[in-house]
Amino acid sequence: MAILRIIKYPEPELRQSTQEVPLAEVGAPGIRRLVEDLVETMYSHNGAGLAAVQVGRPERIILIDGHVAGGAEDAPPVVLINPTIEHLADETETADEGCLSFPGIFVPIKRSLQARVSAYGLDGKCFTIEAEGLYARALQHETDHLTGRMIVDFVGAVKREIIKRKMKRVAREEAEEAEESPARRVSDAKTL
């Protein structure tokens, strides 16, 4: 397994078009290895979720932390391959959302309180999730990544400029840190 570099906004790869994983390849070694690397990358950054496009891969694969998904503290992450949002409840809630591609930035975003999502697992079987609260929010956040939509797209022009400026600083710091200590780990709680 490997910890992959997470692509930061405004790097253009975050907006690349994504592709469904062919069903014949769902359980193949290449996809399994990618999922293992995504899991390790998400945990090393204390992320609550991650989309493959955030490490520069076009496959439509997302992960949600097992605890956020309603499991025990050490539950394995939920792996969703080719996820589709089947239904979003009308009832919404606004809460701050972070993203591993925007370290240190939180944006209030209105999301449906409940979401029904279907996807394929690594076993090649289709499953459906009925999620609520943070789990539903995380699913909406990660599926947004697959269409290139990110937290910066929920703010107005002024705030977007502020975020862009902060991210330029992050990029500078990341370049400096890469020279100093390549293995430094970041810790952002509840970052999707």
Catalytic positions: 142
**How many Å apart are CA 159 and CA 142, to the nearest integer?**
22
- Residue whose CB is less far from Ni ion, 34 or 64: 64
- Interface positions with Ni ion (CB under 5 A): 99, 192
**Residues 22 and 58: beta-carbon distance below 8 Å:** no
Choose between 15 and 27: whose C-beta lies nearer to Ni ion: 15
Say how many C-beta atoms besides its own lie within 10 A of residue 178's C-beta.
11
Distances (CA, A) of 23 to 31, 117, 147: 11, 18, 20
CB 5 within 8 A of CB 177: no
From the CB of 49, what's the least distance to Ni ion, in Å?
7
Residue nearest to Ni ion (CB): 99
Q: 88-121: b or e for each residue (b if 16 or more CB lie within 10 Å)?
A: beeeeeeeebbbbbbbebebebebbebbbbebbe
d(CA 182, CA 110): 36
If the CB atoms of residues 120 and 145 are measured against Ni ion, the closer one turns out to be: 145
Q: Pick the closer one to Ni ion by CB: 88 or 154.
A: 154
